Every structure is written in C-alpha cells, then in structure tokens.
Amino acid sequence: MGQTGIDQALWAFGRGTGIIALILLTVSVALGVAARSGRAVLLPRAGLAEFHRGAALTAAVLVVIHVSSLLIDPYAQLRLLDVLVPFAGQRRAIWLGLGTVAVDLLVAITVTALLRHRLGPNVFRMVHYAAYALWPIAFAHALGTGTDAGRPWMLLIAAACLLTVIAAVIWRLGREFDVYHRIPERSFR
C-alpha cells in the first residue's frame, strides 16, 4: 500500500524535525562549552548561556515533535513501547534503541536544567555532563535509523555537526580552557 499525501507529510516532518534537533543539540553542546569557558565568543558569556539554553530547549521540543509525528505516522510504524523501552523495536532495534536512550537522557538533562535552582549546582552539573553522552548517542541514532543518512546533504550536515562537537570537546579538554567560576558575593555584616 502506498503512502498518502498526509503520510508523506508526516514522514517528512518526522525526519526533518529529527535532523533540525540534531543540529540544535550540536549548537547547544558547542555553546555550552563556550559559556562554561567564561570567555566572550561572539557574544558575552551571559548571551552564550542564554543562546545555549534556547537551543537546548528548542531541540527538546523538536524531539518531542519528532517522536510524536513518527508515532502517528503509519509508515514509520513506531510504537509507544519503542519510545519507552530501549532496544524493543521491531525494525532497526539497535538504532531505534539509541534514539530511546537519547530521549531519556534529554529528558533528564532538561528537567534538571529547568529545576537547577532547586536541585543545586552539584546535582545539576553531574546530570548535565550526560550531554556529552547524549550527543553521540543521538548522532548514532540519526545515522543508523535515518533514511536520509547516505544522502550527500545529510552527510554534509553530519560532518559539520561532528566536527563542531569534536572541536568543542577538544577545546574543553585543552589546557588553555579556563572554567568560569562565579565569584561568590561577600556578605557584609
């Protein structure tokens, strides 16, 4: 049975939101590293931090739309079980399972980011380091399950994302990277 126009639109929408979410996760990782450095890189540190949060939250919303559209798309045949239980998928179980793990990590990171003032900086930072695991898992999911993975335009996007994250991580791990520490306010009695 062929796809209807609505089915084709859902399939394209699901794929497109996934690709854009990967791009925004890449931007978020790079901006997060830059903001943590305390240096002004194109924007002041506070601007970098805001841009990082905006990119991350927009990526999270796009992931929700990505998953939701594929759940209702009859061609994708994505089941709620596939979204909730990693590696339970009937098709491309490993690659789909990586997507499920990425969603789980994204939820944990997003919730702790939204509750960071209630959880405290140590809990927030510990969970937030999961972003370094989230990104390669989401990247592998995109290349392993994405139907556009072999197309030149997608390979170009994937290469740009990969190089961006590698550069950010190399900078983050380098000796010249200075971690920004907020100067505690002194209390005067």
Per-residue pLDDT of the chain (189 residues; tens, 9 = 90+): 456 777 788 888 889 999 999 999 999 999 988 888 766 677 777 788 899 999 999 999 999 999 999 999 888 888 988 888 999 888 888 999 999 999 999 999 999 999 988 998 889 889 998 988 999 999 999 999 878 888 999 999 999 999 999 999 998 887 776 665 554 444 444
How many distinct structural domains can be found in the chain? 1
- Give start and end residues of each alpha helix (H) in the chain: 5-37, 45-72, 80-84, 93-114, 116-119, 121-128, 131-145, 152-173
Q: Assess if residue 184 is contained within a domain.
A: no
Q: Which is nearest to 25 in space by CA: 60, 68, 64, 50? A: 60
**Domain, as residue range, for 97:** 5-173
CA angle 128, 159, 37 (to 5 degrees): 35
pTM: 0.86
Q: Which is nearest to 100 in space by CA: 111, 89, 113, 112? A: 89
Q: Assess if residue 180 is contained within a domain.
A: no
CA angle 96, 63, 67 (to 5 degrees): 55
Q: Assess if residue 33 is contained within a domain.
A: yes
Q: Assess if residue 81 is contained within a domain.
A: yes
Q: Assess if residue 179 is contained within a domain.
A: no
Q: Which is nearest to 105 in space by CA: 165, 166, 53, 59? A: 59
Q: Assess if residue 188 is contained within a domain.
A: no
Token duo for residue 60 = 């999270």
